[in-house]
Amino acid sequence: MSQSTLFTPLRVGALELPNRIVMAPLTRMRASSDGSPTKLTVEYYKQRASAGLIITEGTAISVQGQGYPNAPGIYTAEQIAAWREVTDAVHTNGGRIVMQLAHNGRNSHSSLHADGSLPVSSSAIPPNGPVLTSSFQQVPAEIPRALERAEVSRIIHSYRDAALNAVAAGFDGVELQGANSHLIEQFLETGTNQRTDSYGGPIQNRARFLLEIVDEVTNAIGADRLGVRLSPFGQYGGISDAAPFELFKYVIVELSSRKIAYLHLIEARGSEMGLTDELHADAVNNVGLFRSSFDGPFISAAAYTPESAAIAVESGAVDAIAFGRLFIANPDLPTRISLRAPLNKYNRATFYGGGADGYIDYPTLAGLE
């Protein structure tokens, strides 16, 4: 199977991608204590500018949205200025970069919030595993506080403000983190949403939070600069739904009608790859289930190899492939795929937190010469 199909251009909303090799959003926990990216962050993304598109690590839209120690934000002037250094470096090196906007909801800890407040969610239901404190300690999850109706509206507006901040920081667009058990997914799925107001109950109500965010962000920066990431049938953090196919079919059709720049789905087989290399071999095929419901560029992620990615794109099943762990270990991944060169092995022990080790020190082919 030829891998040349991965190097054909692709129009994604307002952006023209030179190849179909996308850098997936990857939590790295290396921001400064105030949530600003550092000089290491600038170098990390600069090294990977040959990606067809870079999607940043999940970036908190507010202090309340923070979910990990040393995770970045996009809600202060200092953060905006620091991110501008990242986008300038990527653009100077020929790249395109969008920011993933995130609110972790219940997957957080009170120590990460300046006022010590509890994490929030659609309902007062905790995740089924531990969370990290501000000092990187694993502790049992706290029971989140269910958001009040007025607070929901304020959070929706916070997504709009974060999108505008991202554009001010030089980003080419934004992606909404609606996957991996973040707040948007906590509203979507019945296992976490037991609300009785207009944001709970029927699918249309549970989807309202996401769709109102999409509409707000679209009005602020344009649908052609907005992507959405979802993880149908995922299990991260104990997320679940009584009727996942019906839920995500409805959501994806609604997103399609809004003409967003792209849809980004995580395959269920790898919905927990942030925690483990083990795959769910018997998981459903999200591309097969939902591709026909979205009329626009379709990005797929989860445990692809260069070979399986080329097959998926050449078949027409997807338009681009997002690589995570391979991009961590191979800053020049597109070059390596093009030349069929050996790939560096990643070190999971250095994925989260730390400094340059396992972050900006993986060698390129040029560096090995």
The tokens for 70 are: 């040393």
- Rounded to 5 degrees, what angle do the CA atoms 284, 245, 24 make? 60
Provide the pLDDT for residue 8: 97
Q: What is the pLDDT of residues 179-228, one digit of tens each?
A: 999 999 999 999 999 999 999 999 999 999 999 999 999 999 999 999 99
b (16+ CB within 10 A) / e for 142-166: bebebbeeeebeebbebbbbbbbbb
Domain ranges, ordered by start, for the chain: 4-368
Long-range interactions of 333-339: CB distance < 8 A, separation 24+ = 333/21, 333/23, 333/48, 333/50, 333/51, 334/6, 334/7, 334/19, 334/21, 334/50, 334/51, 334/52, 335/50, 335/364, 335/365, 336/365, 337/3, 337/6, 337/21, 337/306, 338/3, 338/7, 339/365
Is residue 159 within 8 A of residue 136, CB to CB? The reply is: no
Q: What is the pLDDT of residues 106-136, one digit of tens each?
A: 999 999 998 999 999 999 999 999 999 999 9
Looking at the DSSP bridge assignments, the partners of residue 226 are 174
b (16+ CB within 10 A) / e for 39-77: ebbbbbbbbbbbbbbbbbbbbbbbebbbbbbbbbbbbee
Give the residue-averaged pLDDT of 255-264. 98
The mean of the pLDDT values for the chain is 95
What amino acid occupies position 21?
I
The tokens for 327 are: 């991009």
Query: DSSP code of 173?
Result: -
Provide the pLDDT for residue 369: 58
Structure confidence at residue 281 as a pLDDT band (50, 70, 90): low
4-368: CATH, from 3.30.499.10, 3.40.190.10, 3.20.20.70, 3.50.30.30: 3.20.20.70
The tokens for 153 are: 């509206």
Q: What is the pLDDT of residues 289-328, one digit of tens each?
A: 999 999 999 999 998 999 999 999 999 999 999 999 999 9
The tokens for 342 are: 């050996």
Q: What is the pLDDT of residues 317-352, one digit of tens each?
A: 999 999 999 999 999 999 999 999 999 999 999 999
> Residue 277: is it exposed, middle or buried by C-beta count within 10 angstroms (0-12/13-18/19+)?
exposed
